[in-house]
Structure 1
Amino acid sequence: MAITAAAVKELRERTGAGMMDCKKALGETNGDVEAAVDLLRTKGLAAAQKKSSRTAAEGLVGVAVSGTKGVAVEVNSETDFVAKNEQFQSFVSNVAEVALGLESDDVEALNAANYPGGDTVQDALTNNIATIGENQTIRRMKTIGVSSGAVVPYVHNAVTPSMGKIGVLVALESSASADVLEPLGKQIAMHIAAAFPLALNADGLDQDMLERERSIAKEKAAESGKPENIVEKMVDGAMAKFAKENALLSQIFVMDNKTPIAQVVEQAGKEAGAEIKLTEYVRYQLGEGIEKKEEDFAAEVAATLGS
């Protein structure tokens, strides 16, 4: 099959591999980009998929916190222009506050909830679409909380203090005072925004993802030509490294580039004279996991004209 320039471009952006290597990998995988990523990694021609890979959907992530409870909500729009619209920003802010009062993370329940002014959230969204003239959707929400302590918010690339491109919440269970927990939580949230952990600890990592990583590691190790028992040890070592680098508590703190997050939290607790536990977090990046269709304007015009 023909390999498109768009597929080569996407594969290069995701792996950092050379153009010819990308074209060859796509040829060997019949144009399957995901399979090509794995193939390049197996051959040692690509790093792990970039965590901050391009996100295409527009809109805003909003966060809201009240006491020991916090929520993050993603509201998508078609263009970044709408994300700069005050009406849309007000809607995202209000939706986050409404979500904070719910008992579940069900978007359907959020849509049916009362919106300030008397409408439901869905009614307000429909009105937004009609008046702004662009489709918008509430994509997801996540609530976290602690029995005592603090939930600390952080927004990266913020358009206002409560919304932007990346929203993070950090739950710290502790009897320590807010003047200890707030700055600690913010530093950890900034780390999360930058380091993109996949789970709180190794036990929380997705099993399907781990199997995929193990398969890649096994193929790479097998190419070394070493005995099977050595290959297994190489695979186990690669998986341990993967877990350490992708579980939040074992990640190295970006602020000092040497201390695991678990130790950062433990040390803060010792200095405060009260145990601090990092129990949960949320990291929402706008458009994460959404592939947006890239329009070919020339082709669209040609099609319209019947060419």
Structure 2
Amino acid sequence: MAQITAGLVKELREKTGGGMMDCKKALQETDGDLEAAVDWLRKKGLAAAAKKAGRTAAEGLIGVATEGTRGAMVELNSETDFVARNDKFQNIVNNLTAIALKNDGDLAAVKAAAYPGSDRNVEEELTNAIATIGENMSLRRAAGLSVSSGVVSSYVHNAVADGLGKMGVLVALESTGDQAKLDELGKQLAMHVAAANPQAISAEDMDQDTVERERTVLRDQALASGKPAEIVDKMVEGRIRKFYQEVVLMEQTFVIDGETVVKKAVKNAEAGIGAPVAVKGFVRFALGEGIEREESDFAAEVAAATSG
């Protein structure tokens, strides 16, 4: 068997971008044949994937699936919107969403799950897909909602196919009433969440650090106006109520009619549903939110390339 030197491993790494241990194994499997080792890495989906792993993936798709009392959602990122329109990419997102539904939206469990139609798990399949599709991809997040009795409803904004789009929302409603009418309400609430982007279901569910930070800012603003302390307290409480109306789901104005407060709209719907309705949770994924996108100056890149 040929001797696998550090220099040979280094050369293969530079040629393929593969990991050190992967390159060493490839050379061992091919008896030190460099070109055969390149092919071995490519077949395993390890060559191209490693080179692309550093590139920003902020495009892609949100996948959403519901099944009665359960729902799940995933975000799979790609580098370009063009790839997100690719049938193979969309099929991957559909498969990942189905896996997430079976695993209650647990991201670690999704990554470790067997990928359908292959002998690889999800993480390994994505590595393989990076090599074949030609772009970096990242399974960024997953989430799931469930209720003991009721429905989990969904909404997909800018849908490119059934259950696939640029934004996804799940809303969990608990009720023993008419399931079809309950789901109709759930879909309306999901559309509302997509548009209004609430931070919590109720004021009690709000992150208290966020509320106190807002309260401090409002108090400083009120004090700067020169008002007496007792007036400042009333001003702050009034502005906090307005803050809740902006960020708390049940206190927001329902976007469906532009008039009714959401908690009132839910209460009004109970008559047709035939039972009390409780909003138990919601999840909203907007594609690429929070990802720092690379900004490039194409003209400067061309100038730099030609000056050398």
TM tier, shorter chain? Answer: 0.7 to 0.9
172-181 vs 187-196, greater mean Cα deviation:
172-181
What are the superposed Cα offsets for residues 38-89 of structure 1, whole Å, 9 maximum, x if unpaired? xxxxxxxxxxxxxxxxxx9211110111221000111111111111111111
Shift in CA distance, 236/304, structure 1 to aligned 2, threshold 3 Å: farther
Q: Across the two proteins, how many residue pairs are aligned to each other?
A: 251
Within 5 Å, give how 1:35-50 maps onto structure 2.
Answer: none
Equivalent-residue separation in structure 1 for 2:138 and 2:194 (angstroms):
23
Within 5 Å, give how 1:26-105 maps onto structure 2.
Answer: 57-103=58-104, 105=105
Q: State the shift of 1:172 in Å.
A: 1.1
- Partners of 1:202 and 1:244 within 8 A in 2: no
Q: State the shift of 1:215 in Å.
A: 3.1
Which residue does the alignment assign to 1:140? 141
Equivalent-residue separation in structure 2 for 1:302 and 1:131 (angstroms):
31
Equivalent-residue separation in structure 1 for 2:135 and 2:272 (angstroms):
51
Gaps of 5+ in 2: 1-56
Within 5 Å, give how 1:199-210 maps onto structure 2.
Answer: 199-210=200-211
Equivalent-residue separation in structure 2 for 1:106 and 1:202 (angstroms):
27
Equivalent-residue separation in structure 1 for 2:86 and 2:213 (angstroms):
41
Instruction: State the SS of the aligned residue for 1:160.
Output: coil
Q: State the shift of 1:286 in Å.
A: 0.7
87-96 vs 297-306, greater mean Cα deviation:
297-306
Equivalent-residue separation in structure 1 for 2:303 and 2:215 (angstroms):
47
Q: State the shift of 1:306 in Å.
A: 5.7
Q: State the shift of 1:213 in Å.
A: 2.1
Q: State the shift of 1:305 in Å.
A: 4.8
Equivalent-residue separation in structure 1 for 2:190 and 2:196 (angstroms):
10
Which residue does the alignment assign to 1:149? 150
- Partners of 2:201 and 2:281 within 8 A in 1: yes
Instruction: State the SS of the aligned residue for 2:158.
Output: strand
Equivalent-residue separation in structure 1 for 2:78 and 2:111 (angstroms):
16
- Partners of 2:69 and 2:147 within 8 A in 1: yes
Which residue does the alignment assign to 1:286? 287
- Partners of 1:244 and 1:250 within 8 A in 2: yes
- Partners of 2:106 and 2:144 within 8 A in 1: no
1:117 aligns with 2:113: no
1:236 aligns with 2:246: no
Which residue does the alignment assign to 1:266? 267
Which residue does the alignment assign to 2:159? 158
- Partners of 2:181 and 2:272 within 8 A in 1: no
Equivalent-residue separation in structure 1 for 2:60 and 2:113 (angstroms):
21
92-101 vs 230-239, greater mean Cα deviation:
230-239
Q: State the shift of 1:223 in Å.
A: 2.5
Equivalent-residue separation in structure 1 for 2:292 and 2:231 (angstroms):
40
User: Considering only aligned residues, what root-mean-square deviation do their CA atoms show, in Å?
Assistant: 1.8
- % identical equivalent positions: 52
User: Partner amino acid for 1:87?
Assistant: K
- Partners of 1:198 and 1:246 within 8 A in 2: yes
Which residue does the alignment assign to 2:107? 107
Q: What TM-score does the superposition give when structure 2 sets the normalisation length? A: 0.77
